[in-house]
Structure 1
Amino acid sequence: MSPLTETVLFVFGLVALGYLAGLTGYLKAQSAEGVAEFAIGVAMPLLLFQTMVKSDFHGSAPWLLWATYFSAVALTWAGGHLVTTRLFGRDSRTGIVGGVSAAYSNVVLLGVPFILGIYGQQGFEVLSLLVSVHLPVMMMASIVLFELFGQGGAERVHPLRVLRRFLHKLLINPLIIGILAGLAWRFTGAPLPGLVSRLAEALGGTAAPVALFAMGLGLNRFGITGHIGPAVALSVLKLFVMPAITLVIVWLAGLPPLTAQVAVLVAALPSGINSYLIAVQFNTGQGLASNQMTLATASAVITTSFWLAVTSQVF
């Protein structure tokens, strides 16, 4: 077994263990929230804080990386919206959920351990550049689109309301707090005290395995109870179309090989829990979002291996 294959199986094996722990009742269903809260609220912010303080991002071309990746996001989001509304006849609000589900990669719970396992710290530094803007960009896009289509386009968009909602959600997010705190400390130029560094390393080091286990444990809450047609179509967009678009764009843009590989593999990740949370927040398309997330995650063990092989050949 090659090291890359072993890493893919290790990553999705931890997700499977979490799923089985919940499915068999070995861990209580409510424990999923606690494990996920620790991963997202403590371990991941500390890992990102430490990365922002210590990493060297020179040569990663963040503006070009962001432009290429989010171009693929926009095209896939539009495709998901059109598939949901035109092909399956859902309303425009559900269409937004379809677009989010097709374009919103699980960059934290799945992306962090996956990229760390495949490319190590250098790959994670590239991923951190995407993580730092991924949530704000996707959140703002969702809020603006729901403001535009939330009442069928009948109400005028209020820019201040959009901005207020966006900033509130952004500034209370622990991942953003970890990133901003790390950048602020980096700006001072002061080294991390030994105790702070040890604490960050100890807790941040648990982020990857705990996040994967929490994701598997949480999947027990989401079954496949309908919406099969649109969920499959959106999963195809997420797992095949979006990474294919990303690969073409980053190749045309001439991104460095490691940066290009990370961008394509992030695009190939299945949809994250945030697509479902957005549907819950706006009270539409919850079943579609949860079913699509479950199907895409189950299929990703095969599709990510495919894109890993493709990127290794192309770049």
Structure 2
Amino acid sequence: MQVLFSIVLPIFALIGVGWLARVRGWMGAAGAFEMNRFVVYLGMPALLFQIMAKSSWKQLDQPGFIAAFGLASGAVYAVTVAVSRMRGGALADASLAGLNAAYANVGFIGFPLAMAAFGPSSMMPATITSILTVCVLFGIAVTVVELGVNEGGSIAGILRKVGWSLAQNPMLLSPVLGALYAGFAPPLPEGADRFLSLLAHAASPCALVSLGLFIADQRGRPQIPALSAQVGLKLVGQPALTWLLAEYVFHLSPSMTGLAVVLAALPTGTGPFMLAQMYKREAGGIAGSILVSTVVSVLTISVLVSWFRTTG
């Protein structure tokens, strides 16, 4: 219970504040969109760049952690796509369903939760999972969606389009530039470091409030039976597979295993919803999945954090 009240609930309370602000009309319809843009283009890039710029390349050398988290999320995505296709779903919709079941909300919830539960040493692994989710998994999903909506189109053309889109993504550019800075430039000047810190410290609270605003804007009651499989895969299947890989295949330390599992157990992020809107696919189910998984994850994450803090 102490973990619930001291670590998990303060994180999710910020989501609740955003929800309340939208419901009460304290923030308008554009609030979620504008705050999300601040997080994506300013706050989170500053955080990712600063983490990487103040780290060594040796800290990125964590193949077991990368494999455990990456293979688990990739497997959940692939299985969901395959099942959706066997049931007659279009390739683009199957890719969105797979992303919905595997896309952990590392950027908005993962960083503040990891810091509160595991301390500053968790920031580099959290950055790695953010890159795997926002860049690798998202890039694969976008490619498959493009293949679905452009049947008969050039594979090379689709890959160029996706590659160019990812190359302009500040969530990808900032850690890459930070890693290059760490390897070839002197330590960050005090003024630049303070500037980045001011932006970075605003990223997590703004991200959580933005998520609350987004959830409040979703109208209608989510179709729980239709969402149960994807939410179950996200909150139970993905962390369970991550734990099996981390514990029995890659033999990670207890602390790294716990961090990998907790990050894998995060609720669905907003990426799948934005992608569905971009390609004009049905987005109501995805919005419902984000809502349900976020609410339920208050309990599941509390249990996992309590367990790994006790055993670690």
TM over 0.5: yes
**Across the two proteins, how many residue pairs are aligned to each other?**
311
Give yes or no for contact 1:143–1:162 (8 Å, CA) kept in 2.
no
Alpha-carbon offset, residue 273 of structure 1: 0.5
Q: Distance in 1 between matches of 2:310 and 2:199?
A: 36
Query: 2:226 and 2:79 mapped to 1: Cα distance?
Result: 12
CA apart distance, 1:91: 3.6
Match among 226, 233, 245 for residue 229 of structure 2: 233
Question: Counterpart amino acid of 2:162?
Answer: F
Percent of residue pairs identical = 25
Cα distance change on mapping 1:210 and 1:147 into 2, 3 Å: closer
Shift in CA distance, 293/50, structure 1 to aligned 2, threshold 3 Å = same
Match of 1:167 in 2: 163
CA distance in 2, matches of 1:60, 1:179: 11
Q: Where in structure 2 are the equivalents of 1:252-271 lying within 5 Å?
A: 252=248, 253-271=250-268
Partners of 2:53 and 2:74 in 1: how far apart?
A: 31
Q: Which residue does the alignment assign to 1:29?
A: 29
In 2, distance between residues paired with 1:232 and 1:45? 33
- The one-letter code of the counterpart of 1:188 is F
Q: Which amino acid aligns with 1:20?
A: L
**Contact conserved, 1:76 with 1:102, CA < 8 A, in 2?**
yes
Amino acid at match of 1:221: D
Matched, 1:114 2:106: no
Contact 1:48 1:179 in 2 (8 A): yes
CA contact (8 A) 1:53 1:185 kept: yes
The answer to whether the Cα contact below 8 Å between 1:139 and 1:166 also exists between their aligned partners in 2 is no
Partner of 1:49: 49
Task: State the partner residue of 1:13.
Answer: 13
Equivalent position amino acid for 1:277 in 2:
M
Return the offset for 1:259: 2.0
Judging changes above 3 Å, is the alpha-carbon distance between structure 1 residues 58 and 260 closer, same or farther for their aligned structure 2 residues? farther
Distance 1:308 1:86, change over 3 A: farther
Query: Is residue 2:256 matched to residue 1:272?
Result: no
Matched, 1:132 2:144: no
Deviations along 1:87-127, one digit per CA (max 9) or x if unpaired, are 6x644432221111000111101111111111121011211
- Is 2:101 aligned against 1:98? no
What letter matches 1:40 in structure 2?
V
**CA 1:224 to 1:124, structure 2 compared with 1: closer, same or farther past 3 Å?**
farther
Does structure 1 conserve the Cα–Cα contact (< 8 Å) formed by 2:51 and 2:178? yes
Q: Does 1:210 align with 2:206?
A: yes
Q: 1:270 offset after TM fit, Å?
A: 0.6
* CA offset digits 1:59-102 (Å, max 9, x no partner): 66422222221211122113323554556x64443222111100
Equivalence for 1:223: 219
Q: Are 1:291 and 2:288 matched, yes or no?
A: yes
Q: Is the 8 A contact 1:264 1:311 kept in 2?
A: no
Superimposed CA distance per residue, residues 222-265 of structure 1 (whole angstroms, 9 cap, x where no aligned partner): 23445432212211111111111111111011112222212111
Distance 1:291 1:254, change over 3 A: same
Q: Distance in 2 between matches of 1:71 and 1:231?
A: 23
Which residue does the alignment assign to 1:195? 191
What secondary structure, in the 3-state scheme, does the structure 2 residue paired with 1:205 have? helix
Provide the secondary structure at the position in 1 that maps to 2:106.
coil
Contact 2:90–2:148, Cα closer than 8 Å, also in 1: no
Residue aligned with 1:235, SS: helix
What residue identity is the alignment partner of 1:145?
Answer: V
Match of 1:248 among 239, 244, 253: 244
Distance across 2 between alignment mates of 1:227 and 1:92? 22
Letter in 1 for 2:243: L
CA contact (8 A) 1:242 1:267 kept: yes
- In structure 2, give the amino acid aligned to 1:281: M
- TM-score if structure 1 supplies the norm length? 0.90
- Contact kept, 8 Å, 1:113 with 1:212, in 2: the verdict is no
Bigger Cα displacement from structure 2, 249-258 vs 140-149: 140-149
Is the Cα contact below 8 Å between 1:223 and 1:290 reproduced in 2?
no
